Amino acid sequence: MSFLLFLPLLQEAAPSPTSPWTDRERKILLSLSPLPPVPASPGNEVADDPVAAALGRALFFDPGLSGDDSMSCATCHDPDKGWGDGLARAKGRKELAFHTPSVVGAAFNRWQFWDGRKDSLWSQALEPIEHPDEMAGSRTGGLHHIRRTPPLLELWGAAFGPFPDLTDPDRFPESACPAPVDPASPFEDLSGASPDSRHRAWAEMKADDQAVVDANYAKVGKAIGAFERLLVSGLSPFDRWVEGLEDDRESLVEGFGATQWRGARLFIGKAGCLQCHFGPGFTDGQFHNVGMAVPAGTDFDDGRPLGIQRVRVDRFNARGKHSARPGVRKNPHLLYLAFDEHTYGAYKTPTLRNLGRTAPFGHDGRFATLMEVLDFYEDLPGLPPIGHREETLLPLELSTSEKEDLVAFLHSLTSEPIAKEFGRPSRKP
């Protein structure tokens, strides 16, 4: 007798976590857990150095890297808010166009930021420090702060050796950094033309001194990256349930019951979520236009193509001299990046882990709840304002109760919070 004949009955009562699943479904579910070890970071020679991570942690929570000592990385990546900020759109000196993603699990990302304009965790850490609308600091200012802060200086010495001599104010101004590179004109030096005093100060520095600052500023990012690599989700109710599924234990677990079980079936089947949200990270790591390309209340935005242009000219990318593998030949991640009309308006697929702590949702935070997200995919309203929506996307056509089950499943992907003092729980005792 067909399995489908039993499905209505199974959905009426609390089901067994194992017996209802086909071999194919079981294989899919087992592919979604557990999280693998954090991948290597070949561009960061101190990626797994605990001393460097300790320095990175100190810098992550230190407002001294900002222009006026008022903001740190943790301002927008607050441990009490799922290592995000809980806002629709990030707010530094100004409100930004995009929602702040959590840094939990960011070490699994091949590309950083919604448009993928950074190709490493350590390089990503550097941009907000100098961005005028975020922390508005500078690379010389951050290094001077470390030089004047004994605990930081001690950790630096343990991680990287002697700190450079930056005491000459004529060579190393208190606040200097290059102007942001214009992706359309990557070889044009904009520092001298910028009205920002930080940029003018940088333009007046000698090239050799700029090189000293760049080399050590890269170490700031590598230390922060080493710390952020430790921010990995623990076991969620779904992960604990999959352990039982793998071991053929016939029991549901706390936080994963019949409603979540039904939602899991929808997730891997009827709802089509696996098109973009697969594997233990619940993401394909790619970029898609789902029909909401231009951030709400903003002007025209390219999405992924602009990110490609930016990462190609980034002085801290994987091919740059500050990478532990500079000039790697045949690097497909950078050399063979391609964009066409289908990449316009495309943004990175986010992980679905820890959704219970990372609301609101969407690259511009336009969805306050997961139900609003599902309502959007239910209707797929209109055409995208830019580019071409993914052709594989179809309306969900789920009932209200099915959407409630799916939301319950998504919440089962939320693990215990990671505090400031953290350690990754083991999978099994």
Q: What is the pLDDT of residue 10?
A: 35
Q: What is the pLDDT of residue 323?
A: 94
Fold (topology level) of 50-228: Cytochrome Bc1 Complex; Chain D, domain 2 (1.10.760)
Rounded to 10 degrees, the C-alpha dihedral 152/153/154/159 comes to: 90
Q: What is the pLDDT of residue 225?
A: 97
Q: Which residues of the chain have pLDDT under 50?
A: 1-18, 185-190, 423-429
Q: What is the pLDDT of residue 187?
A: 41
d(CA 105, CA 112): 11
Q: Which residues contact 146 (CB under 8 A, 6 or more apart)?
A: 59, 152, 153, 156, 163, 220
CATH for 3-30+234-303+344-411, options being 1.20.1740.10, 3.30.360.10, 3.40.50.9100, 1.10.760.10: 1.10.760.10
| Residue in 133, 142, 167, 118 with CA at minimum distance from that of residue 60 | 142
Q: What are phi and psi of 153, to 5 degrees?
A: -65, -40
Long-range contacts of 151-156 (CB under 8 A, 24+ apart): 151/58, 152/55, 152/58, 152/59, 152/62, 155/51, 155/54, 155/55, 155/58, 156/55, 156/219
Question: Tokens standing for 135?
Answer: 């922390």
d(CA 228, CA 44): 12
Per-residue pLDDT of 90-135, as tens digits, reads 999 999 989 999 999 999 999 999 999 999 999 999 999 999 999 9
Task: Give the DSSP letter string of 209-232.
Answer: HHHHHHHHHHHHHHHHHHHHTT--
Helix (H, G, I), strand (E, B) or coil at 288: strand
Per-residue pLDDT of 237-251, as tens digits, reads 999 999 988 777 757
Number of residues written out for the chain: 429
Q: Which residues contact 157 (CB under 8 A, 6 or more apart)?
A: 163
d(CA 140, CA 216): 9
Rg, Å, the chain Cα set: 23
Q: What is the pLDDT of residue 313?
A: 87
- On the CB side of 87, CA atoms within 13 Å amount to 16
d(CA 255, CA 239): 11
Query: Going along 294-355, which residue ranges are E strands?
Result: 347-348
Please determine whether the domains at 3-30+234-303+344-411 and 50-228 fall in the same fold group of CATH: yes
Task: Give the DSSP letter string of 42-105.
Answer: TT-TTTT-HHHHHHHHHHHT-GGGSTTS---HHHHSBGGGTTB---SS-BSSSB-SS-----TT
Per-residue pLDDT of 155-203, as tens digits, reads 999 999 999 999 999 999 999 999 876 555 444 444 555 678 999 999 9
Letter string b/e over residues 240-265, b meaning 16 or more CB atoms within 10 A of that residue's CB: bbbbbbeeeeeebbebbbbbbbbbbb
Helix (H, G, I), strand (E, B) or coil at 294: coil
Q: What is the pLDDT of residue 186?
A: 43
d(CA 292, CA 66): 33
| Residue in 84, 81, 199 with CA at minimum distance from that of residue 130 | 199
Question: Tokens standing for 2?
Answer: 């067909």
- Domain coordinates in residue numbering, the chain: 3-30+234-303+344-411, 50-228
Q: What is the pLDDT of residue 388?
A: 80
- Please report the sign of the dihedral spanned by the C-alpha atoms of residue 313, residue 314, residue 315, residue 319: negative
